[in-house]
Amino acid sequence: MSSAFFQQVAKLETDRIDFIMATVVESGGSTPRTSGARMAITNGTIIGTIGGGAVEHKVIIDARRLLMDDSRSTEMISVHLVRDLAMCCGGKMSIFLEKVTANPKLWIFGAGHIGTELAKLASLSGFDVAVVDDRDDWANPSRFNPETDVIEDDPETIIKKTPPKADDFVVVVTHEHALDERLLRGLFPLETKFIGLIGSRGKWAKFTKRLESRGVSSQWLDTVSCPVGLDIGAETPTEIALSIVAELIMVRRNGPKWS
């Protein structure tokens, strides 16, 4: 395979675009491509080729069907090119389809003790983590894993410039209740995969009243998890972070509680 193919595939991963990698794993007789040929298929684009014609058309259709199927991640296609596809080639091909999905993005607003521990545990659990804090002593990359994207900037500004996307997870754990409330106002009416807020039930009761009076819908507020994290009796920053990651994994695997 050419370096250009792998560069284009790497860009799909960088851009967080899910795709199917189709690989010819076995071929016999007269076939358009032999073992090792690859093609990457997204919902809208094709990179590379496994030979064109009816066999490639079938693989593209099956790949896009697999891409939309949350219950499966792989598929094997075995075809006789003449008997099954009426191609002139007289060979057989087996093509392995593998779904490649991006890690979910987790935005952590607040780089304090809980935010730091949350970033570490979430990264280990398969999330691509970005931590946002405007305090330079806290938003210090040396305090985090190398793969964590540490952003020293005003969280409200970041939400306006690069708002979290529909598949993203958001956890608000800042050092100020007032900032927490402003961030929720900034996040409304975004529809993300998950929004969690650190705090007590009493804090949340006060927040909901004030936010509703400022135009934030009660339906949207019902999607916010506060207190964020599963109830495991957590006390230390690491334990609290662990409880939050447990809830993130639960939502990632089973869907939001309101779905």
**Tokens standing for residue 44:** 């809208």
State how far the alpha carbon of 200 is from the alpha carbons of 110, 225, 229, in Å.
Answer: 17, 11, 11
Smallest CA-to-CA distance from 60 within 69, 47, 79 is with: 47
Banded model confidence at residue 3, pLDDT cuts 50, 70, 90: confident
User: What pLDDT was estimated at residue 169?
Assistant: 98
All structural domains of the chain, each given as residue ranges with its CATH number in brackets, are 3-100 (no CATH), 105-254 (3.40.50.720)
Give 136's DSSP letter.
Answer: T
Q: What are phi and psi of 203, to 5 degrees?
A: -60, -45
Name the strands in the sheet holding 38-41, side by side, starting at the edge strand that comes first in the sequence: 46-48, 38-41, 19-28, 92-100, 74-80
Of 82 and 173, which is predicted with more confidence?
Answer: 173
Q: What predicted TM-score, i.e. pTM, was given to this entire model?
A: 0.81
Reported as a pLDDT band with limits 50, 70 and 90, residue 79 is confident
Whether the per-residue pLDDT at 134 is higher than 90: the answer is: yes
151 — pLDDT class (breaks 50, 70, 90): very high
Mean pLDDT of the chain, nearest integer: 93
Residue that wins the pLDDT comparison between 15 and 206: 206
